[in-house]
Structure 1
Amino acid sequence: MVQIILNGCNGKMGKVVSNLAQNSDTLSIVAGIDRNSSGTYYPVFSSIEECNVSADVILDFSRPDALDSLIKYAKSNNLGVILCTTGYSDNQIKTINDISKEIPVFRSANMSIGVNVVNNILKNISALLYKNFDIEVIEKHHNQKVDSPSGTALLLADTIKASLPEEVSYVNGRNGIRKRKHNEIGIHSIRGGSIVGEHEIIFAGQGETIEIKHTALSRDVFAVGALKACEFMYKKEKGLYSMDDVISVKN
């Protein structure tokens, strides 16, 4: 049984994860961390420093500013940490990469298995299509999302960029009067209502268009992926892991 400390347990995603974990035979949430320390079926602490419950991993669905305290606690208690938060700065990403040399760290911009399958498809087709197709990424989220472009949009764009034979640049939205350059990847963000998450990659050629799209209909898809990541990270050695590792595991 994998025992989990859930950081951000009373947030939107934290509550979804808690509900799904209740029905699991392979893992359990043994403690939660949240500024809103209202109770649930496990004890909740207002800060991770106060947590005195033994666990195997820390699962984080909170904000980037929690990173330092999570890493310090994970290192002190020799725990793996699963980071599902987006919006990290370049310095924070460097910190994550550095600490993975000491403890097991899992980081993914999107915990959906479907999104990560799409990401792997892009690794295989982007270079084949690039010469004859322009590439645009469109992402849509609810009106409370704070980071833009989304971490997932950047994940997908970075995957495309890494697979191309020449250097390309990102254009976040399009404004002004000028023609599109071929070595651009457009990234466009839409915020509104209660959209859970939608990502579309458009390959636009002469006389034909290829569109690859993923739509999250419920936050459950992210919670399912996060819990699978917790199972994957159980007793892992130090290192940096991602959803690529999870979806490549043969059942």
Structure 2
Amino acid sequence: MTNATAPLRIAIMGEGRMGSLIRSTAEGVRTEAGTAAFEVVAQIGFDLSAADSAPAADVLIDFSNVVTLPAVANYVRRVGCALVSGTTGYTDEQMDELRSLSQVAPVLHSGNYSLGIAALRHATTLAARELAGFDVEIVETHHNQKVDAPSGTAKLLLDAVVDAEAAEGRGEYHPVYGREGMVGKRDPREVGMHSLRGGTVAGVHTVSFFGADEEVSLTHRATSRQIFVNGALAAARKMAGREPGMYGFDEVMFG
């Protein structure tokens, strides 16, 4: 267990835009008593071997890249800390590695750390349940430096639709990633997934439900990465000292 009066010791994987923003934000957070809420004990950049000797933290925060997973796993196993991961684009095999890691450490993995996105997921589930027979399309937009598509958040929204339809006994729904050529009549059980890339867009996600003569669209717009940083740091405080296991963002923040 961590000392409630001492700063939470965090390590950060990555020195890019997210890693730098996590650090600058963490270093500025103060408790009600005016003391530092976090102590950044390590930040690991391109030299992943630095993780082998980095000081122990209570929580490792990782918003970097899929290639860092071995270094992330080795660090967590070595120091026995919790992991808060916002890295997206993992393969099935890499997700299996995260789940294996959760056997020895508390692991939180989420494609989005925004409270607004959490609300959008709930609203998407409700709409999918109530709007039987409506066609569903998901569109996500991000900056031109994002390397994976669709976004992790779009996949979370897809899961919300698929799970809701299954719970209502309407059969299996499946994603279709973009359309080109003579694709034929739309399958009523497909969910269109579309990714737009350009400029400096922090993130826009829209779930649209198309029925006969009416349309319902739910949209979340992120104007900066700060919302994800704030959510990750809040989650880090709740993950420290937990029992090993795989956790979800909603479970940690609202459970």
Taking a change above 3 Å as real, the CA distance of residues 54 and 99 of structure 1, as seen in their structure-2 partners, is closer
Query: Segments of 4+ in structure 1 off by > 4 A?
Result: none
Tell me the CA shift for residue 99 of structure 1. 1.9
Residue in structure 2 matched with residue 39 of structure 1 by the alignment: none
Counterpart Cα distance in 2 of 1:186 and 1:108: 22
- Does 2:205 match 1:205? no
- Does 2:167 match 1:167? no
Residue in structure 2 matched with residue 41 of structure 1 by the alignment: none
Tell me the CA shift for residue 46 of structure 1. 6.1
Whether the 8 Å contact between 1:22 and 1:28 is mirrored in structure 2 is yes
SS of the residue 1:47 aligns to: helix
CA deviation profile, 1:144-173 (whole Å, cap 9, x unmatched): 111011111111101211121310111111
Question: For 1:118-197, what aligned pairs fall within 5 Å after superposition?
Answer: 118-129=120-131, 131-164=132-165, 165=169, 166-177=171-182, 178-197=184-203
Q: Which runs of 5+ in 1 are unaligned?
A: 37-44
The Cα RMSD (Å) is 1.5
Taking a change above 3 Å as real, the CA distance of residues 207 and 186 of structure 1, as seen in their structure-2 partners, is same
Question: For 1:98-117, what aligned pairs fall within 5 Å after superposition?
Answer: 98-117=100-119
CA deviation profile, 1:179-207 (whole Å, cap 9, x unmatched): 21110000000001111110000011111
Q: How many residues align?
A: 238
Whether the 8 Å contact between 2:140 and 2:194 is mirrored in structure 1 is yes
Tell me the CA shift for residue 124 of structure 1. 2.9
Counterpart Cα distance in 1 of 2:194 and 2:125: 20
Whether the 8 Å contact between 2:137 and 2:209 is mirrored in structure 1 is yes
Q: Which runs of 5+ in 2 are unaligned?
A: 1-6, 31-36
Under a length normalisation based on structure 2, what TM-score does the superposition of the two structures give?
0.89
Residue in structure 1 matched with residue 50 of structure 2 by the alignment: 47
SS of the residue 1:92 aligns to: helix
Counterpart Cα distance in 2 of 1:30 and 1:73: 13
Q: In the alignment, residue 51 of structure 2 is paired with which amino acid?
A: I
Counterpart Cα distance in 2 of 1:57 and 1:219: 20
Tell me the CA shift for residue 141 of structure 1. 0.5
- Of 112-121 and 58-67, the range deviating more from structure 2: 112-121
CA deviation profile, 1:80-124 (whole Å, cap 9, x unmatched): 111110000000111111221221111001111111221122233
Whether the 8 Å contact between 2:52 and 2:74 is mirrored in structure 1 is no
Q: In the alignment, residue 24 of structure 2 is paired with which amino acid?
A: N
Counterpart Cα distance in 1 of 2:81 and 2:226: 25
Residue in structure 2 matched with residue 78 of structure 1 by the alignment: 80
- Does 2:40 match 1:29? yes
Counterpart Cα distance in 1 of 2:99 and 2:56: 25
Overall identity of the aligned pairs, in %: 36
Q: In the alignment, residue 73 of structure 1 is paired with which amino acid?
A: Y
SS of the residue 2:180 aligns to: coil
Counterpart Cα distance in 2 of 1:161 and 1:186: 12
Residue in structure 1 matched with residue 34 of structure 2 by the alignment: none
SS of the residue 2:28 aligns to: coil
- Of 10-19 and 21-30, the range deviating more from structure 2: 21-30
Q: In the alignment, residue 177 of structure 2 is paired with which amino acid?
A: N
Question: For 1:2-17, what aligned pairs fall within 5 Å after superposition?
Answer: 2-8=8-14, 10-17=15-22
SS of the residue 1:132 aligns to: coil
Q: In the alignment, residue 230 of structure 2 is paired with which amino acid?
A: V
Residue in structure 2 matched with residue 217 of structure 1 by the alignment: 223
Counterpart Cα distance in 1 of 2:127 and 2:98: 29
- Of 98-107 and 115-124, the range deviating more from structure 2: 115-124
- Of 172-181 and 194-203, the range deviating more from structure 2: 172-181
SS of the residue 2:18 aligns to: helix
Q: In the alignment, residue 217 of structure 2 is paired with which amino acid?
A: E
